[in-house]
A and B are shown apart, each in its own frame.
Chain A
Amino acid sequence: MFKTATANFSTISDAELDARLQALTVDIAIAGEKIEPALVARKRSRQVFRGVVLMIAGLLFSAQTGGVTLILCVAGVADLIDVLEEDAAALRLQARLRDDLERYLGIYQRIAVEKANRDW
């Protein structure tokens, strides 16, 4: 892909330009499939809700149980940390896909301009 991003399209043949357009389409399709589905994000939201509920319950019932329910707090904190780490990874992936999209868009525009110049 880096080869395509830095290539000079005016010096390549029609067949190669067509092949690069096809490769670009495939790359876009592959990158589009990497976007996190809404189901996974909803699952993380549920996990955050569970962690918050566990922590609040552990704190509120700790006075009656002599601190035993603080174990629930530990589970809730583990849930929250897990979710925050996954969210950070998802945001990194999102930023990377955003960069890729801009690069693909630039390549597509260059191919389209070259195609218009050759008057296919």
Chain B
Amino acid sequence: MRERETPPDPGEEPARRRISIVAWVTVVVVSFALGALVTHFAMLKEPISQYSFQAFFASPFWSTVSIALVCFVSGIGYAYIPFAWYRDDANRTLRTEYRDLREKAGALRQSVDAPRDRADALRPPQPARPAKPVGSSPEPEYAEQDDGPPDIAAVISEMSAAIKANLRDTGSTGRMDVDLKQALRSKPSDE
């Protein structure tokens, strides 16, 4: 079964780059040392036990090689200077072109927004609400009329008065009055 390929971790990239640099330098140094060793023994035909790094670095061979390497490295350094100029110029040009394009796009956007602003300016202004005095307490969103508990006796008396007024018209007021009073008297005792 084939395993799914996972994307590389961004944190691994510097570590891999370091390892590749170290490997590259190691290979170069080892190959160079091997070449120098072979050249040394091929030219002098000496046994390996008599090999001396001091003698090798003092030899005319190393003098020539070191001067050649110094010239090569100096050439790299000199070649980098015009490359750096080119890179800076290219970045500067790119930045300028991006800025110009951004300004043009911004101007186009402003030309789109300008008629809307003019239309908003021509619209009649909304009447302003009277300002509240500073320090006044804010009104609650859902204010309740809190007048205390309702007076039940007053409500019942109003109801009985209304009923009596209605029954007076029909002629049975006395009897109904008695019944209502009895009901009012009997209700607290029942509760």
How many cross-chain pairs have Cβ atoms below 8 Å apart between A and B?
118
Q: Return chain B residues, CB-CB under 8 Å to A78.
A: 21-22, 25
Contact of B109 among A22, A31, A90, A105 (CB under 8 A): A22
A60 to chain B, nearest CB (A): 6
* A-B pairs with lowest CB-CB distance, top 3: A32-B98, A52-B77, A25-B105
A58 to B41, CA, bound (A): 25
Interface contact B98-A28, CB-CB below 8 Å: yes
The answer to whether B66 touches A31 (Cβ under 8 A) is: no
Nearest Cβ distance between residue B64 and chain A, in whole angstroms? 12
Docked complex: A24-47 residues within 8 A CB-CB of B: 24-25, 28-29, 31-32, 35-36, 38, 41, 44-45
Question: What class of interface size applies to chain A in its complex with B?
Answer: 35 or more
Which chain B positions have C-beta within 8 A of A120? 111-112, 115
User: Given contacts A63-B57, A101-B98, could you give 11 more A-B pairs where the C-beta distance is less than 8 Å?
Assistant: A18-B112, A25-B102, A52-B74, A60-B66, A62-B66, A66-B57, A67-B57, A76-B73, A90-B87, A101-B94, A101-B97
A48 contacts across to B, CB distance below 8 A: 77, 80, 84
Chain A, residue nearest B17 (CB): A85
> Per-residue CB proximity of B35-76 to A under 8 Å, as 1/0?
000000000000000000110111000110010011001101
Binding site for A on B (CB under 8 A): 17, 21-22, 24-25, 28-29, 53-54, 56-58, 62-63, 66, 69-70, 73-74, 76-77, 80, 83-84, 87-88, 90-92, 94-95, 97-99, 101-102, 104-106, 108-109, 111-112, 115
Would you call the interface of chain A mostly helix, strand, loop, or mixed?
Answer: helix
